[in-house]
Amino acid sequence: MSIRFRLLVGLLACMFSTLVHSQATPLCRHADERCTEWVPLDNDQRGLIYRTFALNQRNEGIEHAVVVIHGQGRNADGYFRHALAGAFLADALQNTLVVSPRFASNEGRSCRDKLDSKEVGWICLGPESWRSGGEQATPAMKKLNSFDFMDAIVARLSDRNVFPNLRTIVIAGHSAGGQYVGRYQMANSIHENLRAEKNIQMTYVIGNPSSYTYPDALRPTRSAIPANISAAAPGYMPVPSVKPQVPFAQYPDAAGCTNFNSWPYGMENKVGAVRDIPNGKLKEHLATRPVTFLLGELDILPLYGFDGSCAAMAQGPTRLARGFAYASFVNETLKSKHSAVMVPACGHDARCMFSAEKALPYLFMR
pLDDT tens per residue, range 38-75 = 999 987 899 999 999 999 999 999 999 999 999 999 99
Tens of pLDDT, residues 5-50: 454 445 444 544 444 444 457 899 999 999 999 999 987 899 999 9
pLDDT band at 237 (very low <50, low <70, confident <90, very high): low
**pLDDT over threshold 90, residue 97:** yes
CATH topology (fold) of 33-232+240-363:
Rossmann fold (3.40.50)
Strands (E), 243-320: 248-250, 291-296
Give dist(CA 269, CA 275) in Å, integer.
8
Backbone angles phi, psi at 136, to 5 degrees: -65, 150
pLDDT band at 117 (very low <50, low <70, confident <90, very high): confident
The per-residue pLDDT for 225 is: 86
The per-residue pLDDT for 21 is: 46
Q: Count Cβ atoms within 10 A of the Cβ of residue 151 and give its class: 0-12 exposed, 13-18 middle, 19 or more buried.
A: middle
Tens of pLDDT, residues 279-303: 999 999 999 999 999 999 999 999 9
**pLDDT over threshold 50, residue 198:** yes
Question: Positive or negative CA dihedral for 15, 30, 36, 126?
Answer: positive
pTM strictly above 0.75: yes
Q: Which of 128, 130, 126 is nearest to 104 (CA)?
A: 130
Element holding 218 (H helix, E strand): strand 218-220
Give dist(CA 308, CA 233) in Å, integer.
13
CA angle centred on 93, ends 58 and 55, rounded to 5°: 30
Give dist(CA 160, CA 69) in Å, integer.
24
Residue length, the chain? 366
Give dist(CA 199, CA 203) in Å, integer.
13
